Amino acid sequence: MAAKRLALVTPAERVTTPAICATMIATVAASMLLHGRWRQRFQASAQAATVGIHMNLASTE
């Protein structure tokens, strides 16, 4: 069986291609703040504050 190979990416394409979708980053950050353990929530909120991401989480009460 011949192994499938990934397409080669030129350096120019690598620079212009986003590594991770911005929507995915926001979703993971919100999920971590809602469902992560205490230490994970603390790290996620500290990172969000440092980077400047402002998230408004709806109250479930």
**What would the DSSP string read from start to end of 3-56?**
PP-PPP--HHHHHHS-SS-HHHHHHHHHHHHHHS-HHHHHHHHHHHHHHT----
pLDDT band at residue 59 using 50, 70 and 90 as cut-offs: very low
Inside any domain, residue 7: no
Let me know if residue 13 belongs to a domain: no
- Work out how many domains the chain is built from and give that number: 1
pLDDT at 27: 73
Asked if residue 35 belongs to a domain, the reply is yes
* Full residue range of the structural domain in which residue 45 is found: 22-53
**pLDDT per position as a tens digit, 15-53:** 665 566 666 777 776 776 666 676 676 777 777 776 655
pLDDT of residue 60: 45
In a 13 Å sphere around the CA of 23, the CA atoms on its Cβ side amount to 0
The verdict on residue 48 lying in a domain is yes
> Per the domain annotation, does 59 fall within a domain?
no
Question: CA-to-CA distance for 17 and 23, rounded, in angstroms?
Answer: 15
Q: Give the residue, 30 or 1, on which the prediction is more confident.
A: 30
Does residue 43 lie within any of the structural domains?
yes
pLDDT at 20: 64
Does 32 map to a domain? yes
Which pLDDT value is given to residue 38? 66
